[in-house]
Amino acid sequence: MSIVKIKDKTFRTFIPESEILERVKAVAEKINHDLDGKNPLFLAVLNGSFMFAADLMRYVTIPSEISFVKLASYQGTVSTGTVKEVIGINEDLTDRTVVIVEDIVDTGVTMKRMLETLGTRGPKALHICTLLLKPGKLQVPLNIDYVAMEIPNDFIVGYGLDYDQQGRNLRDIYTLVE
């Protein structure tokens, strides 16, 4: 177990890279099976999902496309509760199978907003794929098709997730040491 210090906080290893990649591969295999023949469009939510999206796409073997959208609702370690779209979607989603790729779903507020926004664009199907799910924090009902891992309500960093924009480059996922 390793310890890292980011700004004023200390974190310890929570999920090693090898376990993350095993779970990502398993999710990709399920997507390959479920969405074969559908040419899904993966919409990766920036900034946090960039590592997960890259690794996921390496294991996706079916014809597919990827694009990126940026939403913001976090400041430091706390969700602001307000979601504002920063970078929109340029692709035509009409009759497309869309897979939203997210780093973490905790309250579900961001994802609900994303589904509402995408739903107005006429997709055939919307699927949610998340690296991490905090079921204990979920405030809105969501049908999450693909979950790599469920975790407790701890604050985490690494593998794309940040603490005040720092720590995204860490290969493992770390949890806050109280």
Q: Is 154 exposed, middle or buried (0-12, 13-18, 19+ CB in 10 A)?
A: middle
Q: By C-alpha distance, which of 108, 101, 16, 14 is closest to 55?
A: 101
Q: Is the peptide bond before 47 cis (omega within 30 degrees of 0)?
A: yes
Taking the C-alpha atoms of residue 165 and residue 169, their distance in angstroms, rounded to an integer, is 10
Active site positions, annotated? 106
Give me the amino acid identity at 141: P
Q: Tokens standing for 58?
A: 């390496």
Place of tokens 């090693």: 16
φ, ψ at 177 (rounded to 5°): -95, 120
